[in-house]
């Protein structure tokens, strides 16, 4: 297989995202010269309802920029694959899955309406999934000619201000009319050629790696009579060749690759970043709408994920321990319950981690945890296919779509995956997640300078577990639990430096009547998944 530096044609995936009815599909049609089997709202309900309901794919070719030519001397053409994502709020899962396969994003805005709710959500998704963005101010033909320039300039200033708060502060903003660009002259007049030039400028040299396991995100599946079943999608990592065996893990199905096409052109192999169709035989397309194909044995069903977590700044809700979120990973979205903890990086399952009640406690702005990162265990309601390094996005998709608020709560990277169905009993107890617990009690009497009797625990407590643990007196002394005293949960406390106020000493075995109550407190670690409920010194 040719390496990326040896290939004459490279594929670049560009996502078209934006609010419903901003003109994404019309723009894709204006740009495209090659269409896939899934393009321009071919879904029957899309045509009936006049909106995009699924991912659409089309392409066009352009010459590479000078910087691309310098990096890849053999490069003759760039194939730009357009990923047309639906804009309707209820289809956010499809938008997220589509955005995970793009190199550059076109944020399409209806210039007559400006920044809308889903526009903002798409901008957030762009910040998570890609590093390059172009803003397209579409439908400029609907602006009155007398005030068109002024309106475009005003919207450009507004978008520039919005982008200042993101990593896309230097993004180009291009005004266009997709519907009016029907011939060469109008394409120039209505900004389509300017947009193509901006895309060419923004496509920077990138890495494509053909090594490692093959991972293929399938977005459509259909049968062709006399040939077999075609799965179309994007190669996420690795490479694939004709006659190799691939596995659809969710179906436990292994199939030989009969042929590969790239926009109806037969090819013998494909690598990371390529948009392709893979033909296999003896496979019912009805069994798979979306999914993942991979090298045999590479992917397994995961019941729990360990992820690093980063809060999305526009999310106004709380991210609390044990809360449920919609977890999107590759082409799947499933409910998951999160369990938050914090600690040093990199994640090591043999280390100890502090369980926290909410994301804010693990925020790097918290001085006590400044060197730590926030992690989460995600307990999935049903198993999913995942691999280490996969992107996950947590959302509250049950939020009413007419509420003007960001539903995307956090994103993260899969650091570890648990494939044991009985992981709660077999794996979870080995993960040392702890909480800091504090118990308080009172001093009943002080028999001598170096000893005190305290009432801290319940009578059924195993006092031996706490022997040697440090105790802090309200009067300032530090003591250590020496053992139990009697049968009612009382303890003897050894005070190495002695009690400061000698007048408190009482030889009587009766409870002392101190002028002011003396309290003691003890702090310790409790491991929350330990079946034996172990406690440890801090």
**Using one digit for the tens of pLDDT, what is the confidence trace for 96-151?**
665 667 889 999 999 999 988 788 888 888 898 888 999 999 999 999 999 999 99
Q: CA 63: distance to chain centroid? A: 34
Phi and psi at 233, nearest 5°, equal 175, -165
Q: By the 8 A CB rule, do 143 and 114 touch? A: no
| Region class of 27: left (phi > 0), else alpha (psi between -120 and 50), else beta | alpha
> b/e for 67-89, b at 16 or more Cβ within 10 A?
ebeeebeebeebbbbbbbbbbbb
How far apart CA 395 and CA 111 sit, in angstroms, is: 28
Describe the strand order of the beta sheet including 245-248 as a list of residue ranges. Answer: 253-256, 245-248, 291-294, 215-224, 228-237, 275-280, 259-262, 265-267
Q: H or E stretch including 167?
A: none
How far apart CA 329 and CA 215 sit, in angstroms, is: 13
Q: Residue 526, Cβ neighbours under 10 Å: how many?
A: 15
- pLDDT value for 459: 87
* 370: pLDDT strictly greater than 70: no
Of the candidates 143, 140, 52, 134, the residue with the CA atom closest to the CA atom of residue 98: 52
Contacts of 494 (CB under 8 A, 6+ apart): 450, 451, 479, 480, 481, 482
Q: What share of the chain is helix, strand, coil (3-state, %, to 5)?
A: 20, 40, 40
Could you give the count of Cα atoms lying within 13 Å of 128 in the half-sphere of its Cβ? 32
Of residues 447 and 300, which shows the higher confidence score? 447
For the chain, the average pLDDT equals 85
Inter-CA distances, 236 with 117, 264, 304, 374, 389, Å: 29, 20, 22, 27, 12
How far apart CA 108 and CA 176 sit, in angstroms, is: 10
Q: At 63, is the pLDDT very low, low, confident or very high (cuts 50, 70, 90)?
A: very high
How far apart CA 133 and CA 170 sit, in angstroms, is: 9
How far apart CA 417 and CA 530 sit, in angstroms, is: 20
Q: By the 8 A CB rule, do 56 and 40 touch? A: yes
> What average pLDDT score do residues 179-204 get?
83
Tell me the pTM. Answer: 0.81
How far apart CA 96 and CA 332 sit, in angstroms, is: 10
Tell me which residue has tokens 């494939």. 419
- pLDDT value for 375: 95
Contacts of 100 (CB under 8 A, 6+ apart): 129, 217, 330, 391
3-state SS class at 161:
helix
- pLDDT value for 187: 73
DSSP 360: G
- pLDDT value for 52: 36
> What average pLDDT score do residues 46-72 get?
71
| Cα separation of the two ends of the chain | 56
> What average pLDDT score do residues 247-266 get?
88
Model confidence pLDDT, tens digit, residues 373-400: 899 999 999 998 888 888 899 999 887 6
Question: What is the percent of the chain with per-residue pLDDT over 90, rounded to a whole number?
Answer: 47
Question: What is the percent of the chain with per-residue pLDDT over 70, rounded to a whole number?
Answer: 88
| The pair of three-digit structure tokens given for residue 408, joined into one six-digit string | 């995307």
* 48: pLDDT strictly greater than 50: no
- pLDDT value for 514: 78
Ordered structural domains, the chain, with CATH: 4-202 (3.40.50.300), 215-294 (2.40.30.10), 300-430 (2.40.30.10), 437-536 (2.40.10)
Q: By the 8 A CB rule, do 65 and 201 touch? A: yes
């Amino acid at each position: 297989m040719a390496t990326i530096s040896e290939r004459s044609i490279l594929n670049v995936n560009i996502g078209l995202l934006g609010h419903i009815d901003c003109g994404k599909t019309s723009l894709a049609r204006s740009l495209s010269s090659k269409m896939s089997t899934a393009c321009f709202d071919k879904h029957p309900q899309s045509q009936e309802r006049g909106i995009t309901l699924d991912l659409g794919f089309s392409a066009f070719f352009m010459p590479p920029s000078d910087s691309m030519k310098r990096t890849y001397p053999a490069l003759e053409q760039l194939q730009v694959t357009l990923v047309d994502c639906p804009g309707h709020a209820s289809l956010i899962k499809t938008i997220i899955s589509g955005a995970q396969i793009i190199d550059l994003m076109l944020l399409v805005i209806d210039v007559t309406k400006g920044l809308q709710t889903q526009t903002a959500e798409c901008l957030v998704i762009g910040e998570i999934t890609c590093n390059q963005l172009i803003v397209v101010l579409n439908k400029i033909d609907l602006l009155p000619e007398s005030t068109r320039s002024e309106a475009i300039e005003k919207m450009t200033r507004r978008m520039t201000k919005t982008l200042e708060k993101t990593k896309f502060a230097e993004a180009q903003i291009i005004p266009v009319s997709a519907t009016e660009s029907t011939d060469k002259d109008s394409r120039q007049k209505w900004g389509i050629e300017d947009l193509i030039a901006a895309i060419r400028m923004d496509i920077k040299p990138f890495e494509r790696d053909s090594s490692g396991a093959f991972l293929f995100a399938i977005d459509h599946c259909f049968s062709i009579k006399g040939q077999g079943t075609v799965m179309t999608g994007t190669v996420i990592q690795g490479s694939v060749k004709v006659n190799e065996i691939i596995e659809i893990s969710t179906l436990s199905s292994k199939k030989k690759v009969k042929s590969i096409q790239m926009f109806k052109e037969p090819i013998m192999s494909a690598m990371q970043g390529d948009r392709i169709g893979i033909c296999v035989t003896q496979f019912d397309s009805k069994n798979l709408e979306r999914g993942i194909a991979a090298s045999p044995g590479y992917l397994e069903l995961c019941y729990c994920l360990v992820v690093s977590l980063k809060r999305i700044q526009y999310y106004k809700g709380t991210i609390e321990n044990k809360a449920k979120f919609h977890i999107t990973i590759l082409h799947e979205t499933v409910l998951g319950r999160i369990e938050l903890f914090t600690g040093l990086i990199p994640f090591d399952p043999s280390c100890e981690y502090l369980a926290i009640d909410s994301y804010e406690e693990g925020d790097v702005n918290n001085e006590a945890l400044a060197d730590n990162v926030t992690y989460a265990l995600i307990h999935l309601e049903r198993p999913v296919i995942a691999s280490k390094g996969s992107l996950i996005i947590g959302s509250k998709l049950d939020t009413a779509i007419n509420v003007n608020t960001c539903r995307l709560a956090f994103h993260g990277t899969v650091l570890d995956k648990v494939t044991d169905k009985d992981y709660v009993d077999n794996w979870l107890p080995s993960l040392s997640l702890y909480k800091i617990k504090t118990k308080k009690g009172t001093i009943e009497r002080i028999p001598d300078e170096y000893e005190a009797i305290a009432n801290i625990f319940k009578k059924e407590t195993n006092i031996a577990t706490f022997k040697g643990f440090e105790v802090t007196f309200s009067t300032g002394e530090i003591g250590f639990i020496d053992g139990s005293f009697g049968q009612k949960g009382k303890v003897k406390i050894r005070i190495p430096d002695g009690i400061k106020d000698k007048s408190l000493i009482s030889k009587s075995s009766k409870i002392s009547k101190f002028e002011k109550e003396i309290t003691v407190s003890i702090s310790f670690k409790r491991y929350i998944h330990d079946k034996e409920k172990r406690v440890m010194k801090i």
